[in-house]
Amino acid sequence: MFIKSRCESAELKQLRYLHIRTNLSEKEKRHFSNLEKGYEGELKFDMLLDNLSGEWLILSDLLFEVGNTIFQIDSLLISQKGIFLIDVKNFEGDFYIEADRWYTASRNEIKDPLLQLRRSESLLRRLLQDHKLNLSIEAYLIFINPEFTLYQAPRDLPIIFPTQLNRFMKNLNKRSSKLNEKHSKFADLLVAKHMNESSFTQLPNYDYEQLRKGVICEGCQSFLISVEKYKLACNSCGYKEEIKSAILRSIEELTLLFPDRKITTNAVHEWCEAIVSKKTIERILTKNYKRLGYGWSSYYVNS
């Protein structure tokens, strides 16, 4: 059972919007693509976990601080026999290990993903000790992409390769168990300790003026939108969306990118590049947000 499910990080969403509305540098594009790929891999793994039989408590995407150190866990499975800490990597292509260092096929050194796993494991162990919980931990690094190969890997590493994933899941199924109150209390504790925002986000600098305005097509991310009766239609892919839903989506983008900007009819009108009238925007805002203040100084907040 999923106790805490996964959702896209604010950083990933922000980068996606910025990628459409401005020009990211090559480095920023790489970072965005890594985040997107990583998230894709984690979702794939969640789908496998969905088929687990027996009693499991599953927590996805956790962020903790223990002794001034912040660490992140992709998936944590709680069973009667102990805890499985899992890091999922969606690496694609050929990699090799040489003298304990990891490299891509083109000889670029990458961060050793096992170091990160070991660090998370030891910090999680500390968290358990702090709460006087006696549960064993097994930590695994899972490579989910079938196009991944790692040369020269010692056999005793806690790694599950794509070709071993089915067997790994079968073994987990064999170990299914009965859970009790102790386990659910522990899961509750983890959810309570989870921090929402990472301080590690690497967002590019951007300002309002520099971003392209307009409504983005939900189907193909283009700006080629025209208005039909109650819908917005994309001239590029033909996707149609209710005006209301497209405007609400654009407002969400605006608030995520500029949390300090007040949501007003004018602000949304400008952000959507005047694709619909101010009257329509005001009607959508009034129905879906709470209005604060009066007249010219009024603005909207989440109701």
Q: State the residues that interact with Zn ion by CB under 5 A.
A: 217, 219-220, 222, 234, 236-237, 239
Q: Write the CA distances from 85 to 58, 80, 88, 141, 188, integer angstroms.
A: 10, 14, 10, 9, 17
Count of Cβ atoms closer than 10 Å to residue 142 Cβ: 25
**Residue 237 CB, nearest distance to Zn ion (Å)?**
3
**Residue 219 CB, nearest distance to Zn ion (Å)?**
4
Q: Which is nearer to Zn ion, 222 or 288 (CB)?
A: 222
Q: Rounded distance, CA 223 to CA 254, Å?
A: 15
**Residue 16 CB, nearest distance to Zn ion (Å)?**
15
Query: Strand pairing partners for 142?
Result: 88, 160
Instruction: With H, G, I as helix, E, B as strand and everything else as coil, classify residue 66.
Output: strand
Do 65 and 200 contact (CB within 8 A), yes or no?
no
Tokens of 109: 């050194």
Q: Which is nearer to Zn ion, 236 or 288 (CB)?
A: 236
Q: Which is nearer to Zn ion, 103 or 239 (CB)?
A: 239
Q: Which is nearer to Zn ion, 66 or 227 (CB)?
A: 227
Go through the chain and tell me how many residues it has. 303
**Residue 222 CB, nearest distance to Zn ion (Å)?**
5
**Residue 236 CB, nearest distance to Zn ion (Å)?**
5
Helix 278-288 vs helix 243-257: crossing angle, to nearest 10: 80
Amino acid type, 243? I
Torsion of CA 19, 21, 24, 28, to 10 degrees: -40
**Residue 218 CB, nearest distance to Zn ion (Å)?**
8
Q: Which is nearer to Zn ion, 110 or 220 (CB)?
A: 220
Q: Rounded distance, CA 200 to CA 133, Å?
A: 29
Q: Which is nearer to Zn ion, 2 or 223 (CB)?
A: 223
Residue 217 half-sphere exposure toward CB, CA atoms < 13 A: 17
- Helix and strand totals (H; E) in the chain: 8, 15
Q: Rounded distance, CA 122 to CA 118, Å?
A: 6
Q: Which is nearer to Zn ion, 121 or 241 (CB)?
A: 241
Q: Which is nearer to Zn ion, 97 or 233 (CB)?
A: 233
Query: Strand pairing partners for 269?
Result: none
**Residue 253 CB, nearest distance to Zn ion (Å)?**
16
**Residue 276 CB, nearest distance to Zn ion (Å)?**
17
